[in-house]
Amino acid sequence: MRKNILMVAALIVVIAGGIAVFFAFGKKTPEAPLIAQQPNVSARGKKITIYFIPKNLGNVYFEALSTGFYDAISELGDENFKYVYSGPQVAEADNQIEFVKKAIQDKADALFISANSNTALNSVFDEARAAGVRVYIINQDIPGSEAHRDAAIMPVNFDTIGRAQMELMGEQMGYEGSFAILSATVDAPDQNTWVGLMKKELEDNPKYAKMELVEVVYGDDQLEKSAAEAKALLSKYPDLKGILSPTTVGIAAACQVVRESGMSGKIKVTGLGLPSQMAEFILDGTCEGFQLWNPPYEGYISVYMVWAEKKEGFTPVPGAKFTTRKLGEYTIQPNGQILTLENPMLYDKSNIGKYSVLF
């Protein structure tokens, strides 16, 4: 079992899903800047220069997100852009500073960054903005430091996660029986918010009257500890009918335990997961379906937002709108966020093959 868990670990990322038709993103080497010798279109008299700094390189989640940048650039014309994907090897806040400075030196038009800290980069963000570089936080926000960025591209409206997860668990259980929640850490703010919303749905919505939440346990986003907690649940609650894990680490660990216990199909396992790590469990019936957002969409709409600024007079302020070719119109919310999706997406046997090769 340890070997299997470690194999899954290689695909785990920290996630921190809206019905839409996914379109093919061409996989390109993310480290290579996309430069072509064609007429310039940038307001600065050069190609539009976009930097994307992930939390760390070698992370399959952010490589998938980067394919969205490439797809939009391809639609709008490779000759119009210089795209640079670069970042630290280790996900630590200070390690991202030098890459922000490189974007400033390169006179980038826009910098997209999945920040490793809510505060540590504020000074260099201010420096970038003073130099005329738009600073966009992507795949998250920087709570308490919003004044140091221009906007934030969110993967989904996180307020919908708790309700959507509870509905998926109820549907798979037939709205009857006992279930447990396997969360990340005790202090994880997003996880705690989602669990709180799940409990509220369970209490307030009559459709869940025959369902019982027996316990919330925490695997600390570690595969082995999450697996141990899942094993303990199966032992402690012999009539358990479901495990809901809103964390990519926990759902994979729970599926592994349920499968090895010979309970696939008898105990429903769902939550938030990555298609690449969950494909085997979907295909063998251990998991009927799970949810997440769509990382490439974030990169896709990011390029169209910068294009709208340079070509259509868009300014990233609350209420401003821009349009993408395949995903429609987006509006900056009053808090400066852009919601890529309103609701999480469902991944099951109908689409797991398509997505599992991407992220």
For 235-257, the pLDDT digits (tens) are: 999 999 999 999 999 999 999 99
More confident residue, 22 or 282: 282
Please report whether residue 50 resides in a domain. yes
Please report whether residue 357 resides in a domain. no
Q: Which pTM was predicted?
A: 0.80
- Residues 78 and 163 placed together within one structural domain of the fold: no
pLDDT in tens, 171-219: 999 999 999 999 998 888 788 999 999 999 999 999 999 999 999 999 9
Q: Is the predicted pLDDT of residue 308 greater than 50, yes or no?
A: yes
What pLDDT score was predicted for residue 26?
A: 36
pLDDT in tens, 309-319: 999 989 999 99
Please report whether residue 3 resides in a domain. no
Please report whether residue 11 resides in a domain. no
- Residues 187 and 280 placed together within one structural domain of the fold: yes
Please report whether residue 356 resides in a domain. no
- Phi, psi at 288, each rounded to 5°: -75, -35
What pLDDT score was predicted for residue 30?
A: 38
Say how many domains are in the chain: 2
Please report whether residue 349 resides in a domain. no
Please report whether residue 60 resides in a domain. yes
What pLDDT score was predicted for residue 291?
A: 98
Find the CATH number of the domain harbouring 36.
3.40.50.2300
- Residues 210 and 173 placed together within one structural domain of the fold: yes
255: left (phi over 0), alpha (psi -120 to 50) or beta: alpha
Interval 34-43 mean pLDDT: 36
Residue 78 · residue 36 · CB < 8 Å: yes
63 token code pair: 């490589």
Distance CA 314, CA 204 (A): 42
Of 292, 307, 322, the one marking the end of a domain is: 292
47 bridge partner residues: none
What pLDDT score was predicted for residue 187?
A: 81
Interval 336-348 mean pLDDT: 97
Q: Is the predicted pLDDT of residue 9 greater than 50, yes or no?
A: no
144: left (phi over 0), alpha (psi -120 to 50) or beta: left
- Residues 92 and 151 placed together within one structural domain of the fold: yes
Q: Is the predicted pLDDT of residue 279 greater than 90, yes or no?
A: yes
What pLDDT score was predicted for residue 12?
A: 38
- Residues 23 and 150 placed together within one structural domain of the fold: yes
- Residues 298 and 288 placed together within one structural domain of the fold: no
- Residues 180 and 111 placed together within one structural domain of the fold: no
Interval 88-105 mean pLDDT: 93
- Residues 127 and 237 placed together within one structural domain of the fold: no
What pLDDT score was predicted for residue 93?
A: 76
Residue 297 · residue 341 · CB < 8 Å: yes
What pLDDT score was predicted for residue 302?
A: 98
- Residues 119 and 60 placed together within one structural domain of the fold: yes
Domain extent for 272: 159-292
